[in-house]
Amino acid sequence: MPATYRAVMLTKKGGPEVLQIVELPIEDPGPGELRVSVKAAGVGATDLIMLTGNYPFAPRIPFVPGYEAVGVVDAVGSGVAGFVPGQRVAALTVYGGFAEFLIREAEHFLPVPDAVSDRDAAAVILNYVTAWQMIHRVAKVQHGHTALVTGAAGGVGTAALQLLRLAGVKTYGAASTSKFDILRSLGATPIDYRNGRIDRLTRGLEPKGVDYVFDAVGGANIGPCIGALRKGGIVIGFGFMGASGILSKVSMFANLFIGARLRGRRGTFYGVSALYRKDPKPLREDLPKIFLLLEEKKIDPLITQSFGLLEAKRAVELLAGGSVQGKIVLIG
């Protein structure tokens, strides 16, 4: 066993250039922990937020990012049951995934079925659990209803379109015209958000409004999203790519929670990490369901590009460019 391993570390606040490959000492897992040899890790918008130093669930800089990881159990700490060396596992790590090895409490890991590849497993942990829980635990969608997804060509957006189609929901996806073919292939009717307000564009297709809106944009987009809903409908905010500044965020959340209610709709915000920290049980129940959908080939994660495990800097640079459709995965 070597004495060190390599990892991509966030060294200071900044852009992708602050991600540096470092060598760290290999340590034994403590009581209740697993040491995992990482085989794949997902790259997503949250990794961009971490570069700013403002992500609430990340440790202090410097640290190794990497929100989701798949690997093979390399060593088992004392008191751990149900895991053995060589077993494939996955975890919502929040940080630490951009590394050759990862040590974390065993309770965070779930087995990966043999029929699911490392690449696909890493691509669904964050995005598909987020989409699944918004759809089934928060919105509680019903067959035959209608939904609008903003940021529809992104990682969570494409996951949501696939899962909504499986649930029998008629879906509209807001994106730029260059991404329309992707949305159609996932069963959604595309809407060009640059052609006007999203509420007017949506009501041009659904005059009474849609039953659900899953909004990744936030900011000033919340008002039009509420307007796109029918009476009694619900808007669920997640990610909020367009939200910046304290006053802007306060206004946005006030509109989401209070403004929606005043207009006869409902509004809420969903964050997978906040829920997981509060109660890990839903993720432990839902991720196996998603792995089963992969096994049955009922979902197919849209993976834009794969990089080597230690090429996180290149992957984050690509993501920061704003042209990524679906997911980026690092492969060990």
The 10s digit of each residue's pLDDT in 165-217 is: 999 999 999 999 999 999 999 999 999 999 999 999 999 999 999 999 999 98
C-alpha to C-alpha distances, 249 to 152, 202, 221, 255, nearest whole angstrom: 22, 25, 12, 10
Residue (of 160, 90, 89) closest to 128 by Cα position: 160
CA dist 79 and 98 (Å) reads 27
Average pLDDT over the chain reads: 94
Reading the block at residue 122, the tokens are 């890493």
CA dist 115 and 292 (Å) reads 9
pLDDT digits (tens, 9 = 90+) for 221-263: 899 999 999 999 999 999 866 555 565 677 788 889 898 999 9
Q: Give me the domains of the chain, ranges plus CATH numbers.
A: 4-124+280-331 (3.90.180.10), 143-270 (3.40.50.720)
CA dist 261 and 116 (Å) reads 42
CA dist 263 and 42 (Å) reads 38
155 has pLDDT over 70: yes
The pTM of this model reads 0.94
Question: Quick one: pLDDT at residue 56?
Answer: 84
Element of type H or E holding 297: none
CA dist 307 and 27 (Å) reads 26
**Token pair 């029998």: residue:** 168
Reading the block at residue 302, the tokens are 């849209």
CB 71 within 8 A of CB 117: no
69 has pLDDT over 90: yes
pLDDT digits (tens, 9 = 90+) for 100-119: 999 999 999 999 999 999 99
8 has pLDDT over 90: yes
